[in-house]
Structure 1
Amino acid sequence: MNELILFLGTIFLSTILFYTIYRKDKAIRAERERLLSVFQHVSDGIMVLDEQKNIVEMNDTAKELLGGEIVPDIFCNICQDTNGKLKICEYDKCFLNHHKLSYYELQLNHKNDSKIPVSISTSNFLGADQKPLTILSIRNLSDYRKKEQNRIHNMLAASMIRAQEEERKRLSRELHDGIGQSIFSVLLGLEYIQPILKSEEARQHLEQLRVTTKRTLEEIRHMAVELRPSALDDLGLIAALKSYIKTFGDTFGIQINFEYSGDKERLDSSIETALYRISQEALTNVAKYADSDRVDLTMCKKENEVVLKVKDYGKGFSMEDIGRHDKGVGLYGMEERASMLGGPSILLLN
């Protein structure tokens, strides 16, 4: 009887033990599957290296960084310095010799012979065989570098445009207040002298000189406005555009319908200048190429954006030609000004 009880007890304990082992094994398998899922789907590239710096494992993101499914034998074959010309170990200690590294920048060789800028962090652990392994966490910096280059480009372009506008403003004032006033004084002198001349021939010559001087004064004033209209600084964008549109329409015989919607508060000076120059360039393009006698210019100011539309009724253009050829200086300049203000590229609709 005692033997039977002992036998049944042994079976019961064995069953509990095997069930416990089964539960633990199932939990370990589930945890392993979760870790493998994280390993494969994490946004950073992951590489596992042995003591000889051989790549023993990598996830899909790391493979994509290198351009394919083929795993290189040793990490040193794909490692370059930040300039992509030398191996780091050729002039400095290998960064893998550090027990733990939080951040390091280098470049990896892509299979198409290009270089991929990356940042790397490292950590160490022991494998199942108790041999040391190194984990590399790799982050692609290509998009970051492009954004940084674009940011620097926009900063330089904005600085150049500000300097250009300041120089335009200075020249405009010099033409209007300096040279313009001097020529106006000459014109007044000619008008004063003309009645007191006795010779008809002399009066005719003086009249021709007066007409030429008056035309020169008008051209100087026009140049001053083209360079930098004082209304843009003193009265704001809308007043400056209305003044420019009237002069432009009279000069080229084009009917320009201007419509503005939104509040009357002035925008930042850089935004007003950009919108004015974009409108100016767009209207100039219409006069040059569109063969149109009507233009609709609308501006809508919303809470977080300003929408500017210029529509002509001319002969149009081929979108294929725009795609095949580089954009002209005018279109490029308009896009440059819009992009510096965080706006999209200029949208062309035929």
Structure 2
Amino acid sequence: MYWKCQKEAGSNELLNQITEQIPNPVLVSNEAGWVIGANGAVMRLTGWSFQELTTGRMTVFRHNSPIDDWYNLGGDEGHGLEVCLEKQDGMRLKLPIESVFTYRPPGQAVVAILREFSPQQEEYVQNLLTKYIIRAQEDERKRVSRELHDELGQNIYSVLVGLQVLEKAMPEAVQIQNLQQMVARSLAMLKNIAVELRPSTLDDLGLAAAIRSFLKHFEQTYGIEGQLTVSGEQHRYEPEIETALYRICQEAMLNVAKYAKVTEVQVFLQNYPDQLNLIVEDQGVGFDVGQLEIQGTGLGLYGMKERAQLVGGKVEIVSQVNLGTRVQATIPLTEKGGIWHAH
């Protein structure tokens, strides 16, 4: 235990022994809120030296509201409180107080034992938040896509029908024909945008049907033929799995269009009892995978890997210059075809 005043250190030998045995961060503050003691876990967590820690005050919150007079709290009253700490890298942490008690060295003070997330817990929470954000994005994409198709799409189609009726009444009006073409193109663009945002086939018919529909649209857009081969017994999987693999397929195909210089691409969807594989393979120009990661260009690699990891899977890329590229996403499954969680 580190103390600002050597006199306090000598008079609290038992507290020193206890706090250094505790893996949790422990902070000691005086009535004014200044840090006067801390164990090694605090320095490890924040990156600060003890001398640097004592230049700041402890900010204690309850329900996001700062508490000024908190040194009289004790025991169970510590629950619901948080201490705000700033790490050396500038990141701000709010750590829950597990317990708090007062004691009386020379000058009244309070001891706060904090609860720190383990790296595994932090990773779990981060993944949970990322998964929530992606799910919220997909829900919003779905909502906007349906509104574009059902509302705006129907309105534009009604305008197109009205122009067709008007053309029959005024066949000599060239401007009406031009307007018809413009409206028809706008309607087609709107449908494409709606599909790219969130294809209804993914929700209604499943992953294989959605990929087939996407490949057809991809060929019309980029002139690259996509062949889908499905093996194994097909199932409907959890929405998170189907969405993740569909977005990975989209990203991989977009890379093919941008960089591969090919006229066709092969897509494989392999259904196994314990895992689901998606493979996008081309015979294009390829690239040096190691150099790609060094340069950090990514080609959407980070996004693909993150989506796969959120459903317990992984993405591997194999490529050689002039020998093509293979992107494989592998998702382990439970017996019921759900997400497999490692324990």
163, 180, 185: which is aligned to 1:190? 163
Could you tell me which residue of structure 1 aligns to residue 131 of structure 2? 158
* TM-aligned CA deviation for residue 330 of structure 1: 1.8
Structure holding more strand per residue:
2
Q: TM-score, normalised by structure 2?
A: 0.60
What SS class does the counterpart of residue 163 from structure 1 fall into? helix
Could you tell me which residue of structure 1 aligns to residue 149 of structure 2? 176
Q: Is 1:285 the counterpart of 2:255 in the alignment? A: yes
What SS class does the counterpart of residue 118 from structure 2 fall into? helix
Unmatched 5+ stretches in structure 1: 1-50, 56-75, 92-141
75, 79, 91: which is aligned to 2:40? 79
Segments ≥4 residues shifted beyond 6 Å: 51-55
279, 288, 291: which is aligned to 1:309? 279
Could you tell me which residue of structure 2 aligns to residue 255 of structure 1? 225
Distance 1:177 1:186 in 2: 14
Question: What whole-Å deviation, never above 9, does each CA across 1:120-145 have from its counterpart, x for those lacking one?
Answer: xxxxxxxxxxxxxxxxxxxxxx9x83
Contact kept, 8 Å, 1:334 with 1:346, in 2: the verdict is no
Pick closer, same or farther for the CA change 1:52–1:188 going to 2, 3 Å: closer
Pick closer, same or farther for the CA change 1:292–1:54 going to 2, 3 Å: same
1:106-117 to structure 2, matched below 5 A, reads none
Pick closer, same or farther for the CA change 1:77–1:217 going to 2, 3 Å: closer
Q: Is 1:217 the counterpart of 2:165 in the alignment? A: no
Could you tell me which residue of structure 2 aligns to residue 340 of structure 1? 310
Q: Which has the larger radius of gyration?
A: 1
Distance 1:147 1:291 in 2: 42
Question: What whole-Å deviation, never above 9, does each CA across 1:278-327 have from its counterpart, x for those lacking one?
Answer: 00111011001111112111111112211111111111112242131114
Distance 1:239 1:282 in 2: 18
Contact kept, 8 Å, 1:80 with 1:86, in 2: the verdict is no
Aligned length in residues? 226
Contact kept, 8 Å, 2:215 with 2:225, in 1: the verdict is no
CA RMSD between the two structures: 3.0
Letter of the structure 2 residue corresponding to residue 229 of structure 1: P
Pick closer, same or farther for the CA change 1:77–1:332 going to 2, 3 Å: closer
Letter of the structure 1 residue corresponding to residue 306 of structure 2: E
Contact kept, 8 Å, 1:295 with 1:310, in 2: the verdict is yes
* TM-aligned CA deviation for residue 78 of structure 1: 8.7
* TM-aligned CA deviation for residue 146 of structure 1: 2.6
Could you tell me which residue of structure 2 aligns to residue 237 of structure 1? 207
Contact kept, 8 Å, 2:215 with 2:226, in 1: the verdict is yes
Could you tell me which residue of structure 2 aligns to residue 48 of structure 1? none
Could you tell me which residue of structure 1 aligns to residue 268 of structure 2? 298
Letter of the structure 1 residue corresponding to residue 169 of structure 2: I
Letter of the structure 1 residue corresponding to residue 40 of structure 2: C
What SS class does the counterpart of residue 184 from structure 1 fall into? helix
Letter of the structure 2 residue corresponding to residue 159 of structure 1: Y
Letter of the structure 1 residue corresponding to residue 273 of structure 2: E
Q: Is 1:349 the counterpart of 2:322 in the alignment? A: no
What SS class does the counterpart of residue 349 from structure 1 fall into? strand
Q: Structure 1 vs Structure 2: percent identity of aligned residues? A: 41
